[in-house]
Structure 1
């Protein structure tokens, strides 16, 4: 048994599937040109790997190496895409109608927050919609839980965005600077973080 060939088959299929996973994720997010470029590299590697394993179909060890490369490639591709974190995410938060502190605190930290009224089983609710770079999505989720651990939120991908506050101000650097500015300030008494509904409405109309 040629162990060098086993490693080569495993590695080639790992790279192929990793690129395949990345290409699919890029395609779903609307990155046409990067996805097309990856497809060219992907199919070339696929042809090389397939031609190698086809010569050893009667030997299970080589098929196993090919299959393992497939599985590990999917996992590595998802990890890589998550690390690169391309695009934007939309997070919707559902909170009590009298809880305006969360929206104000998130704005102070550099996020754009749109507030809507809603109605749930327990009465009136506020729906906060936030667009954030995917690279800061997890940090935003942790921030939400720190400010209000009872808040219910949903996160999903934003494929296309255009105009308005989003494209001008929602950037990773802006969010990072806002966080750094807040860290330099003295912590506030939680009772002072809440504002009345009239103050909230007036602030929105400025």
Structure 2
């Protein structure tokens, strides 16, 4: 039973730690500080238990394994809350349908002409909430399976259109 307790404490601690780091990177200072308070409480509450069982193989094994599980849990939670935005740069020959469908779905779309190996193409710059990233990719690929898509996560942006303004 003690090894289950060690595992649970470690998993919760590491998951909270992972989320705190993400919040710090995203600039959510107060949320990160609040979460840190809970994180350190869990850590200190379990520290004495964990240290008492570090002299056994199973204590060390449980501690190490639960650290990995806690990391996976933290990453899973972060992906579910999906803070922030994604930008997609799309190169396509299918301008009209893609423009109208993306705008109907509320994505910010800016486009311009480009020239490549196969002639003139449209280049789209699309801003989407991270929660909608997979939907945006799926939508683009349904309309143009041959579209070339590059995605990145902008750290900051100022002005212009941001998703949600149309709603």
Rg comparison, structure with higher value: 1
Out of 25, 28, 32, the position equivalent to 2:29 is 32
Q: CA deviation at 1:42?
A: 1.5
State the aligned residue count: 167
Q: Which residue of 2 aligns with 1:50?
A: 47
Relative to total residues, which structure has the larger helix share, 1 or 2? 1
Q: Secondary structure of 1:30's match? A: coil
Closer, same or farther in 2 for the Cα pair 1:29/1:119, shift >3 Å?
A: farther
Q: Structure 2 length normalisation: TM-score?
A: 0.89
Moved >6 Å (runs of 4+): none
Out of 8, 15, 20, the position equivalent to 1:18 is 15
Q: Say if 2:148 is the partner of 1:148.
A: no
Out of 69, 75, 79, the position equivalent to 1:78 is 75
> C-alpha separation between the residues in 2 aligned to 1:81 and 1:109?
24
Closer, same or farther in 2 for the Cα pair 1:89/1:149, shift >3 Å?
A: same
Out of 85, 92, 95, the position equivalent to 2:92 is 95
What CA RMSD, in Å, does the superposition of the two structures yield over aligned residues? 2.0
Out of 119, 142, 167, the position equivalent to 2:115 is 119
Q: Which residue of 2 aligns with 1:171?
A: 164
Gaps of 5+ in 2: none
> C-alpha separation between the residues in 1 aligned to 2:118 and 2:23?
40
Gaps of 5+ in 1: 175-206
> C-alpha separation between the residues in 2 aligned to 1:76 and 1:173?
34
> C-alpha separation between the residues in 1 aligned to 2:17 and 2:140?
34
Q: CA deviation at 1:59?
A: 0.5
Q: Is the 8 A contact 1:30 1:159 kept in 2?
A: no
